């Protein structure tokens, strides 16, 4: 029995079992992988008339046909036949000599036969050549480049499908779509602008103070690290509440009240296609009121009859990114987004 096809040897056992089921080969129970390869190879060669036309088995019959018609194997087979013919000739000569000796003297038959057998056993060159030819005939020939390319394409497609499955199951696409839906609104943009201002205002109102130190870990080559937290005791002082109240009223509360009362979108106006376009707080009015208050208080030092402390104004101006001009830039962005949304919904 010849060795199994190299195409079958490169398959995993699960793939071999699946191939057995597809070609209606059932006699693989209890067999090992190598035994399944040889049995399936024989089965496919015996049923070549039935399965050789299928595209999925084309690599098998292609490599099998090539290996069977290989010039190396032909040369090995012819050499083997030559050696066997020579051995048969030697056997005939020995037999003839033994018969002649038996006819003359019975006592010399056994020694002559023994000498003939010993002569055959003393031919290591012939026996080693036969064993080498037998071993070479069972060696599978290397696959062709087409078979290698087909195996690489199959493995690549399996890997690609697994990666795509992991990506779909990870929820990255759904998370990205949900995040885009949340951020694609005027309210989200205005909220991000306010959070940007608070991010730069926090170090001025609640500076970090030393709390404790994480000790060094020599085993992991990690140095000691001092941990700092916001000084929450400042929440009990006017050093925090003075600037915080000024920013809250000038940048959020008063503009929000103006946006509620001066709301041009609150009128029940219905468009021709039946949709309504209104807000509880007019975003355009909010940004205009915020810009006016910021310019008056932080740009022109207007105290509104002593209600505004200029020390708090200076602290906020030094803390915010770009000072009061950064707030004006934020109101400009909010105004542009409001007008852009109105144009899109028109």
Give residue-wise pLDDT tens across range 77-94. 555 556 456 556 655 664
Question: Do 193 and 308 fall within a single domain?
Answer: yes
**268 and 119 share one domain:** no
Orientation angle between helical segments 58-68 and 145-169, nearest 10 degrees: 160
Report pLDDT digits (tens) over 90-138: 556 645 655 554 444 444 444 444 454 554 444 555 555 555 555 555 6
| C-alpha to C-alpha distance for 309 and 313, rounded to whole angstroms | 7
pLDDT at position 227, please? 92
Question: Three-state DSSP class for 184?
Answer: coil
Residue 1 lies in a domain: no
DSSP type of residue 7: H
- Of 322, 293, 318, 320, nearest to 308 (Cα)? 293
- Domain shared by 61 and 38, yes or no: yes
Higher pLDDT, 343 or 127: 343
| 138-153 confidence digits (pLDDT tens) | 656 666 777 788 888 8
Q: Are 263 and 282 in contact (CB under 8 A)?
A: yes
Q: Note whether residue 267 is domain-resident.
A: yes
Asked if residue 190 and residue 323 are part of one domain, the reply reads: yes
Mean pLDDT, the chain, rounded, equals 78
Dist CA 316 CA 252 (whole Å) = 14
Residue 278 covered by a domain: yes
| Of residues 49, 50, 48, 25, the one with CA closest to residue 37 | 25
Quick check: 48 and 76 in contact, CB under 8 A?
A: no
Q: Identify the band that residue 175 occupies on the pLDDT scale cut at 50, 70 and 90.
A: confident
108 and 98 belong to one structural domain: yes
Q: Which two tokens stand for residue 41?
A: 């190879």
Verify that 130 and 91 share a domain, yes or no: yes
Condensed to tens digits (0 to 9), the pLDDT of residues 275-296 reads 555 788 899 999 999 999 999 9
**Start-to-end C-alpha separation, the chain:** 82
pTM of the entire structure? 0.50
State whether 300 and 324 are in the same domain.
yes
Q: How many domains does the chain have?
A: 3
On whether both 80 and 31 belong to a single domain, the answer is no
If asked whether residues 57 and 103 sit together in one domain, one would say no
User: Is 340 found in the same domain as 286?
Assistant: yes
Does residue 173 form part of some domain? no
Contact (CB, 8 A) for 247 and 316: yes
Based on the fold, state whether residues 64 and 88 are members of the same structural domain. Answer: no
**Per-residue model confidence as pLDDT tens digits over 54-78:** 878 888 887 766 555 444 444 545 5
Instruction: Give a yes or no: residue 225 inside a domain.
Output: no
241 plus 291 within the same structural domain: yes
Do 225 and 213 meet the contact criterion of CB atoms below 8 Å apart? Answer: yes
- How high is the pLDDT of residue 1? 43
Burial 99-111 (b: 16+ CB within 10 A, else e): eebeeeeeeebee
Domain with 100 in it = 71-138
The answer to whether 69 and 144 are in contact (CB under 8 A) is no
In a domain, 129, yes or no: yes
């Amino acid at each position: 029995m010849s060795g199994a096809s190299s195409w079958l040897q490169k398959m995993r056992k699960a793939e071999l079992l699946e191939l057995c089921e597809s070609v209606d080969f059932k006699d693989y129970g209890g067999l090992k992988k190598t035994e399944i390869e040889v049995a399936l190879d024989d089965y496919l060669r015996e049923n070549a008339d039935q399965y050789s036309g299928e595209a999925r088995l084309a690599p098998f019959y292609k490599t099998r046909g090539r290996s069977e018609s290989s010039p190396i194997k032909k040369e090995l087979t012819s050499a083997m036949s030559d050696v066997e013919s020579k051995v048969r000739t030697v056997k005939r000569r020995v037999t003839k000599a033994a018969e002649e000796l038996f006819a003359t003297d019975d006592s010399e038959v056994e020694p002559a036969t023994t000498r003939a057998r010993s002569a055959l056993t003393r031919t290591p060159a012939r026996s080693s050549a036969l064993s080498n030819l037998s071993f070479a005939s069972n060696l599978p020939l290397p696959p062709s480049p087409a078979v290698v390319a087909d195996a690489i394409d199959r493995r690549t497609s399996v890997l690609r499908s697994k990666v795509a499955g992991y990506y779909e199951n990870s929820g990255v696409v759904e998370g990205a779509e949900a995040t885009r839906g949340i951020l694609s609104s005027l309210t989200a943009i205005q909220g991000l602008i306010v959070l940007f201002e608070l991010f730069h205002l926090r170090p001025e109102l609640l500076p970090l103070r030393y709390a404790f130190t994480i000790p060094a870990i020599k085993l992991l080559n990690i140095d000691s690290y001092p941990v700092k937290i916001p000084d929450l005791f400042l929440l009990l002082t006017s050093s925090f509440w003075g600037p915080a109240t000024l920013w809250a009223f000038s940048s959020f509360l008063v503009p929000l009240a103006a946006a509620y009362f001066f709301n041009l979108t609150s009128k029940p106006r219905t468009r021709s296609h039946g949709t309504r376009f209104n807000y509880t707080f007019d975003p355009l009015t909010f940004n205009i009121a915020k810009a006016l208050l910021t310019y008056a208080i932080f740009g022109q030092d207007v105290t509104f009859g002593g209600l505004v402390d200029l020390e708090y104004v200076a602290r906020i101006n030094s803390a915010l990114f770009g000072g009061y001009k950064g707030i004006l830039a934020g109101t400009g962005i909010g105004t542009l987004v409001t007008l852009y949304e109105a144009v899109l919904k028109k």
